[in-house]
Protein backbone atom coordinates (compact mmCIF):
# COMPACT_ATOMS: atom_id res chain seq x y z
CA UNK A 1 0.00 0.00 0.00
CA UNK A 2 2.76 2.42 1.04
CA UNK A 3 4.78 1.56 -2.02
CA UNK A 4 1.75 1.92 -4.25
CA UNK A 5 0.95 5.45 -2.96
CA UNK A 6 4.55 6.61 -3.30
CA UNK A 7 4.77 5.11 -6.78
CA UNK A 8 1.55 6.89 -7.76
CA UNK A 9 2.89 10.26 -6.62
CA UNK A 10 6.16 9.62 -8.41
CA UNK A 11 4.31 8.60 -11.58
CA UNK A 12 2.17 11.78 -11.49
CA UNK A 13 5.31 13.87 -11.14
CA UNK A 14 7.06 12.05 -13.96
CA UNK A 15 3.98 12.30 -16.20
CA UNK A 16 3.80 16.06 -15.74
CA UNK A 17 7.52 16.48 -16.47
CA UNK A 18 7.19 14.28 -19.60
CA UNK A 19 4.19 16.29 -20.90
CA UNK A 20 6.15 19.53 -20.38
CA UNK A 21 9.17 18.13 -22.20
CA UNK A 22 7.02 16.88 -25.08
CA UNK A 23 5.42 20.32 -25.53
CA UNK A 24 8.79 22.06 -25.35
CA UNK A 25 10.29 19.72 -27.95
CA UNK A 26 7.31 20.07 -30.28
CA UNK A 27 7.29 23.87 -29.91
CA UNK A 28 11.03 24.10 -30.60
CA UNK A 29 10.57 21.77 -33.59
CA UNK A 30 7.91 24.08 -35.00
CA UNK A 31 9.25 27.53 -34.13
CA UNK A 32 13.01 26.90 -34.01
CA UNK A 33 15.41 26.89 -31.08
CA UNK A 34 15.99 30.64 -30.78
CA UNK A 35 16.76 32.34 -27.51
CA UNK A 36 13.33 34.02 -27.54
CA UNK A 37 11.48 30.71 -28.06
CA UNK A 38 13.50 28.97 -25.32
CA UNK A 39 13.10 31.74 -22.76
CA UNK A 40 9.34 32.07 -23.46
CA UNK A 41 8.91 28.30 -23.04
CA UNK A 42 10.80 28.24 -19.77
CA UNK A 43 8.78 31.22 -18.39
CA UNK A 44 5.53 29.43 -19.32
CA UNK A 45 6.79 26.23 -17.74
CA UNK A 46 7.78 28.02 -14.52
CA UNK A 47 4.25 29.36 -14.15
CA UNK A 48 2.54 26.06 -15.05
CA UNK A 49 1.07 27.70 -18.18
CA UNK A 50 2.76 25.58 -20.85
CA UNK A 51 -0.19 23.24 -21.52
CA UNK A 52 -2.77 26.09 -21.47
CA UNK A 53 -0.66 28.01 -23.99
CA UNK A 54 -0.03 24.99 -26.22
CA UNK A 55 -3.75 24.30 -26.35
CA UNK A 56 -4.40 27.93 -27.42
CA UNK A 57 -1.66 27.72 -30.06
CA UNK A 58 -3.06 24.52 -31.59
CA UNK A 59 -6.77 25.28 -31.33
CA UNK A 60 -7.31 28.90 -32.40
CA UNK A 61 -10.77 30.21 -31.52
CA UNK A 62 -10.62 33.89 -32.49
CA UNK A 63 -13.48 36.24 -31.72
CA UNK A 64 -14.38 39.27 -33.84
CA UNK A 65 -15.35 42.57 -32.21
CA UNK A 66 -17.03 44.94 -34.66
CA UNK A 67 -17.09 48.34 -33.02
CA UNK A 68 -19.73 51.04 -33.64
CA UNK A 69 -20.33 50.74 -37.40
CA UNK A 70 -23.27 53.12 -36.91
CA UNK A 71 -24.67 55.76 -39.25
CA UNK A 72 -23.64 58.73 -37.09
CA UNK A 73 -19.98 57.64 -37.18
CA UNK A 74 -20.06 56.92 -40.94
CA UNK A 75 -22.06 59.72 -42.57
CA UNK A 76 -23.92 61.31 -39.67
CA UNK A 77 -23.30 63.84 -36.93
CA UNK A 78 -19.90 62.50 -35.86
CA UNK A 79 -18.62 61.09 -39.17
CA UNK A 80 -15.11 59.64 -38.93
CA UNK A 81 -12.92 60.56 -41.97
CA UNK A 82 -12.85 57.76 -44.59
CA UNK A 83 -15.21 55.59 -42.53
CA UNK A 84 -17.08 54.51 -45.66
CA UNK A 85 -13.86 53.08 -47.10
CA UNK A 86 -13.70 50.27 -44.55
CA UNK A 87 -17.26 48.96 -44.86
CA UNK A 88 -16.63 46.47 -47.66
CA UNK A 89 -13.58 44.99 -45.94
CA UNK A 90 -15.42 44.83 -42.59
CA UNK A 91 -18.19 42.80 -44.29
CA UNK A 92 -15.59 40.50 -45.89
CA UNK A 93 -14.08 39.88 -42.44
CA UNK A 94 -17.53 39.31 -40.86
CA UNK A 95 -18.34 36.79 -43.64
CA UNK A 96 -14.95 35.03 -43.46
CA UNK A 97 -16.16 32.27 -41.12
CA UNK A 98 -12.83 32.46 -39.32
CA UNK A 99 -14.37 33.56 -36.04
CA UNK A 100 -15.86 31.50 -33.23
CA UNK A 101 -17.92 34.47 -32.07
CA UNK A 102 -18.84 37.80 -33.67
CA UNK A 103 -19.96 40.64 -31.45
CA UNK A 104 -21.22 44.03 -32.62
CA UNK A 105 -21.06 46.99 -30.27
CA UNK A 106 -23.34 50.02 -30.51
CA UNK A 107 -22.82 53.42 -28.93
CA UNK A 108 -26.26 53.92 -27.36
CA UNK A 109 -26.79 57.22 -25.60
CA UNK A 110 -29.75 58.73 -23.73
CA UNK A 111 -30.55 62.35 -24.73
CA UNK A 112 -29.05 63.79 -21.51
CA UNK A 113 -25.69 62.08 -22.06
CA UNK A 114 -22.63 63.71 -20.51
CA UNK A 115 -20.59 63.43 -23.74
CA UNK A 116 -22.89 65.78 -25.71
CA UNK A 117 -21.69 69.37 -26.08
CA UNK A 118 -25.36 70.37 -26.08
CA UNK A 119 -25.64 69.12 -22.47
CA UNK A 120 -22.64 71.10 -21.18
CA UNK A 121 -24.84 73.40 -19.08
CA UNK A 122 -26.54 70.48 -17.33
CA UNK A 123 -23.64 69.60 -15.03
CA UNK A 124 -21.23 71.51 -12.82
CA UNK A 125 -17.63 71.82 -14.01
CA UNK A 126 -14.75 71.12 -11.64
CA UNK A 127 -13.99 74.55 -10.05
CA UNK A 128 -10.20 74.00 -9.94
CA UNK A 129 -10.16 73.02 -13.64
CA UNK A 130 -12.42 75.95 -14.59
CA UNK A 131 -10.13 78.39 -12.81
CA UNK A 132 -7.24 77.25 -15.00
CA UNK A 133 -9.44 77.17 -18.16
CA UNK A 134 -11.64 80.27 -17.93
CA UNK A 135 -12.16 80.70 -21.71
CA UNK A 136 -15.06 79.70 -23.94
CA UNK A 137 -15.66 75.95 -24.14
CA UNK A 138 -16.09 74.62 -27.68
CA UNK A 139 -17.22 71.40 -29.34
CA UNK A 140 -14.49 68.68 -29.16
CA UNK A 141 -12.84 70.35 -26.14
CA UNK A 142 -11.90 68.18 -23.18
CA UNK A 143 -13.47 69.41 -19.94
CA UNK A 144 -13.45 68.23 -16.33
CA UNK A 145 -16.77 67.87 -14.48
CA UNK A 146 -17.09 68.27 -10.69
CA UNK A 147 -17.10 64.78 -9.18
CA UNK A 148 -15.05 62.75 -6.75
CA UNK A 149 -12.67 62.04 -8.40
CA UNK A 150 -13.10 64.81 -11.04
CA UNK A 151 -14.38 63.38 -14.34
CA UNK A 152 -12.69 64.19 -17.67
CA UNK A 153 -14.80 64.18 -20.84
CA UNK A 154 -14.41 65.18 -24.50
CA UNK A 155 -17.49 67.08 -25.70
CA UNK A 156 -18.93 65.55 -28.88
CA UNK A 157 -21.82 66.55 -31.12
CA UNK A 158 -25.06 64.71 -30.23
CA UNK A 159 -24.62 61.23 -31.68
CA UNK A 160 -25.97 57.68 -31.49
CA UNK A 161 -29.10 58.69 -29.66
CA UNK A 162 -31.00 55.54 -28.63
CA UNK A 163 -33.56 54.29 -31.20
CA UNK A 164 -32.74 56.85 -33.89
CA UNK A 165 -31.48 56.36 -37.43
CA UNK A 166 -28.09 57.71 -36.39
CA UNK A 167 -27.58 54.87 -33.95
CA UNK A 168 -28.48 52.14 -36.46
CA UNK A 169 -25.74 49.93 -37.88
CA UNK A 170 -24.96 51.08 -41.45
CA UNK A 171 -27.25 49.47 -44.02
CA UNK A 172 -24.33 47.96 -45.97
CA UNK A 173 -23.38 45.79 -42.98
CA UNK A 174 -25.09 42.42 -42.60
CA UNK A 175 -24.91 40.36 -39.45
CA UNK A 176 -23.80 36.74 -39.73
CA UNK A 177 -26.24 33.98 -38.74
CA UNK A 178 -25.08 33.97 -35.14
CA UNK A 179 -24.08 37.35 -33.79
CA UNK A 180 -24.18 39.12 -30.45
CA UNK A 181 -24.86 42.78 -29.88
CA UNK A 182 -23.82 44.83 -26.89
CA UNK A 183 -24.80 48.40 -26.03
CA UNK A 184 -22.46 50.95 -24.41
CA UNK A 185 -22.68 54.53 -23.19
CA UNK A 186 -26.18 53.90 -21.84
CA UNK A 187 -25.50 55.63 -18.49
CA UNK A 188 -26.20 59.40 -18.74
CA UNK A 189 -23.34 60.34 -16.42
CA UNK A 190 -20.39 58.44 -17.83
CA UNK A 191 -19.07 57.77 -21.33
CA UNK A 192 -17.98 54.34 -22.54
CA UNK A 193 -15.36 54.14 -25.27
CA UNK A 194 -14.51 50.51 -24.61
CA UNK A 195 -17.04 47.80 -25.46
CA UNK A 196 -16.09 46.05 -22.20
CA UNK A 197 -16.36 48.73 -19.49
CA UNK A 198 -17.21 52.42 -19.11
CA UNK A 199 -14.50 55.11 -19.02
CA UNK A 200 -14.24 54.72 -15.23
CA UNK A 201 -13.33 51.04 -15.66
CA UNK A 202 -16.69 49.88 -14.25
CA UNK A 203 -20.13 49.38 -15.81
CA UNK A 204 -19.52 45.93 -17.31
CA UNK A 205 -21.39 45.74 -20.63
CA UNK A 206 -21.56 41.94 -20.53
CA UNK A 207 -19.05 41.48 -23.35
CA UNK A 208 -16.52 39.87 -21.03
CA UNK A 209 -18.87 37.04 -20.06
CA UNK A 210 -19.83 36.43 -23.70
CA UNK A 211 -16.26 35.82 -24.83
CA UNK A 212 -13.83 35.35 -21.92
CA UNK A 213 -13.76 31.54 -21.79
CA UNK A 214 -14.76 30.93 -25.38
CA UNK A 215 -12.06 32.64 -27.46
CA UNK A 216 -8.29 32.37 -27.61
CA UNK A 217 -7.90 35.94 -28.91
CA UNK A 218 -9.92 38.80 -30.42
CA UNK A 219 -9.64 40.87 -33.58
CA UNK A 220 -11.02 44.41 -33.27
CA UNK A 221 -12.33 46.40 -36.25
CA UNK A 222 -14.59 49.42 -36.81
CA UNK A 223 -14.78 52.99 -35.51
CA UNK A 224 -12.96 54.86 -34.24
CA UNK A 225 -9.39 53.60 -33.84
CA UNK A 226 -8.30 56.39 -31.47
CA UNK A 227 -11.30 55.99 -29.12
CA UNK A 228 -13.63 52.98 -29.06
CA UNK A 229 -11.60 50.49 -31.12
CA UNK A 230 -8.40 51.30 -29.22
CA UNK A 231 -10.02 51.33 -25.77
CA UNK A 232 -11.72 47.98 -26.45
CA UNK A 233 -8.37 46.48 -27.48
CA UNK A 234 -6.68 47.83 -24.34
CA UNK A 235 -9.39 46.38 -22.09
CA UNK A 236 -9.21 42.98 -23.83
CA UNK A 237 -5.45 42.81 -23.13
CA UNK A 238 -6.08 43.97 -19.56
CA UNK A 239 -8.43 41.06 -18.84
CA UNK A 240 -6.09 38.56 -20.50
CA UNK A 241 -7.52 38.24 -24.01
CA UNK A 242 -4.82 38.69 -26.69
CA UNK A 243 -6.14 41.44 -28.97
CA UNK A 244 -5.27 42.72 -32.44
CA UNK A 245 -6.45 45.91 -34.16
CA UNK A 246 -6.72 45.69 -37.94
CA UNK A 247 -5.72 49.10 -39.29
CA UNK A 248 -7.16 48.42 -42.76
CA UNK A 249 -10.59 47.73 -41.22
CA UNK A 250 -10.68 50.67 -38.81
CA UNK A 251 -10.38 54.45 -39.04
CA UNK A 252 -9.56 57.17 -36.52
CA UNK A 253 -11.02 60.61 -35.80
CA UNK A 254 -7.58 62.27 -36.14
CA UNK A 255 -4.12 61.11 -37.28
CA UNK A 256 -2.27 62.23 -34.14
CA UNK A 257 -4.61 60.57 -31.63
CA UNK A 258 -4.74 57.43 -33.80
CA UNK A 259 -0.93 57.16 -33.77
CA UNK A 260 -0.77 57.60 -30.00
CA UNK A 261 -3.55 55.05 -29.43
CA UNK A 262 -1.79 52.46 -31.63
CA UNK A 263 1.41 53.06 -29.62
CA UNK A 264 -0.54 52.55 -26.35
CA UNK A 265 -2.02 49.29 -27.70
CA UNK A 266 1.45 47.97 -28.60
CA UNK A 267 2.85 49.03 -25.22
CA UNK A 268 0.01 47.12 -23.51
CA UNK A 269 0.93 43.93 -25.40
CA UNK A 270 -1.73 44.23 -28.11
CA UNK A 271 -0.97 43.78 -31.80
CA UNK A 272 -1.50 46.10 -34.73
CA UNK A 273 -1.95 44.31 -38.04
CA UNK A 274 -3.94 44.15 -41.28
CA UNK A 275 -6.51 41.58 -42.43
CA UNK A 276 -4.18 39.72 -44.86
CA UNK A 277 -1.30 39.72 -42.36
CA UNK A 278 -3.48 38.57 -39.46
CA UNK A 279 -5.01 35.76 -41.55
CA UNK A 280 -1.52 34.49 -42.41
CA UNK A 281 -0.33 34.73 -38.82
CA UNK A 282 -2.22 31.86 -37.19
CA UNK A 283 0.67 29.39 -37.56
CA UNK A 284 3.47 31.84 -36.81
CA UNK A 285 5.70 32.35 -33.80
CA UNK A 286 4.55 35.97 -33.57
CA UNK A 287 0.99 34.80 -32.77
CA UNK A 288 2.25 32.12 -30.36
CA UNK A 289 4.41 34.76 -28.66
CA UNK A 290 1.44 37.18 -28.39
CA UNK A 291 -0.61 34.43 -26.68
CA UNK A 292 2.31 33.58 -24.38
CA UNK A 293 3.04 37.20 -23.44
CA UNK A 294 -0.63 37.90 -22.64
CA UNK A 295 -0.88 34.72 -20.52
CA UNK A 296 2.32 35.58 -18.68
CA UNK A 297 1.26 39.20 -18.07
CA UNK A 298 -2.17 38.16 -16.79
CA UNK A 299 -0.73 35.50 -14.48
CA UNK A 300 2.14 37.65 -13.23
CA UNK A 301 0.33 38.52 -10.03
CA UNK A 302 -0.71 34.93 -9.49
CA UNK A 303 2.81 33.55 -9.51
CA UNK A 304 3.11 33.44 -5.74
CA UNK A 305 -0.31 31.72 -5.58
CA UNK A 306 1.00 28.99 -7.91
CA UNK A 307 4.04 28.39 -5.72
CA UNK A 308 1.86 28.44 -2.61
CA UNK A 309 -0.63 25.92 -4.09
CA UNK A 310 2.16 23.60 -5.31
CA UNK A 311 3.79 23.65 -1.88
CA UNK A 312 0.49 22.82 -0.14
CA UNK A 313 -0.20 19.91 -2.56
CA UNK A 314 3.30 18.54 -1.93
CA UNK A 315 2.91 18.84 1.87
CA UNK A 316 -0.51 17.17 1.86
CA UNK A 317 0.90 14.32 -0.27
CA UNK A 318 3.73 13.76 2.24
CA UNK A 319 1.26 13.81 5.16
CA UNK A 320 -0.97 11.23 3.42
CA UNK A 321 2.03 8.94 2.73
CA UNK A 322 3.29 9.35 6.33
CA UNK A 323 -0.20 8.68 7.72
CA UNK A 324 -0.62 5.48 5.67
CA UNK A 325 2.78 4.30 6.86
ZN1 LIG B 1 -20.62 58.19 -27.84
- Gap from CA of 283 to ligand 1 centroid (Å): 37
- Gap from CA of 108 to ligand 1 centroid (Å): 7
- Gap from CA of 76 to ligand 1 centroid (Å): 13
Contact criterion met (CB below 8 Å) for 71 and 165: yes
Single out the catalytic residue among 72, 226, 228, 235.
228
pLDDT, tens digit, 9 for 90 and up, residues 266-307: 999 999 999 999 999 999 999 999 999 999 999 875 444 445
Q: What average pLDDT does range 234-253 have in this prediction?
A: 97
User: Which pLDDT score is estimated for 303?
Assistant: 46
More confident residue, 204 or 317: 204
User: Which pLDDT score is estimated for 7?
Assistant: 61
Q: Note if 148 is an active site residue.
A: no
Q: What average pLDDT does range 71-95 have in this prediction?
A: 98
pTM: 0.87
User: Which pLDDT score is estimated for 122?
Assistant: 97
The share of the chain scoring above pLDDT 70, in percent, equals 87
User: Which pLDDT score is estimated for 316?
Assistant: 62
User: Which pLDDT score is estimated for 248?
Assistant: 98
Average pLDDT over all residues of the chain: 91
User: Which pLDDT score is estimated for 324?
Assistant: 61
User: Which pLDDT score is estimated for 206?
Assistant: 95
Instruction: Look at residues 58, 13, 15, 39 and name the one whose alpha carbon lies nearest to residue 288.
Output: 58
Q: Note if 248 is an active site residue.
A: no
Whole-angstrom Cα distance, residue 293 to residue 288?
A: 9
- Gap from CA of 139 to ligand 1 centroid (Å): 14
Contact criterion met (CB below 8 Å) for 82 and 89: no
More confident residue, 101 or 4: 101
User: Which pLDDT score is estimated for 212?
Assistant: 87
- Gap from CA of 279 to ligand 1 centroid (Å): 31
- Gap from CA of 111 to ligand 1 centroid (Å): 11
Single out the catalytic residue among 47, 101, 184, 238.
184
- Gap from CA of 94 to ligand 1 centroid (Å): 23
- Gap from CA of 217 to ligand 1 centroid (Å): 26
Q: Note if 68 is an active site residue.
A: yes
Contact criterion met (CB below 8 Å) for 205 and 109: no
Contact criterion met (CB below 8 Å) for 207 and 173: no
More confident residue, 226 or 8: 226
Domains and CATH numbers, the chain: 62-110+160-282 (3.40.50.850), 117-155 (no CATH)
- Gap from CA of 191 to ligand 1 centroid (Å): 7
Amino acid sequence: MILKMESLLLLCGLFSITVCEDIMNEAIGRFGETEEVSSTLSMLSNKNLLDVWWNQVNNPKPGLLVIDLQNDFINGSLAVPEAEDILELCQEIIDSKMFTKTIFSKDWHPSDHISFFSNLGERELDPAWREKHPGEIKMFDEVVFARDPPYTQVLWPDHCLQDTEGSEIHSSINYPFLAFEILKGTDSDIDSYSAFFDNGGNGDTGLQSIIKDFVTEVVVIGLATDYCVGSTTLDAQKIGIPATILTDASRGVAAETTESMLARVKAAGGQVSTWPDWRDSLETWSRAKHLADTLLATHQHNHSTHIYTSTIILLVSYIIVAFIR
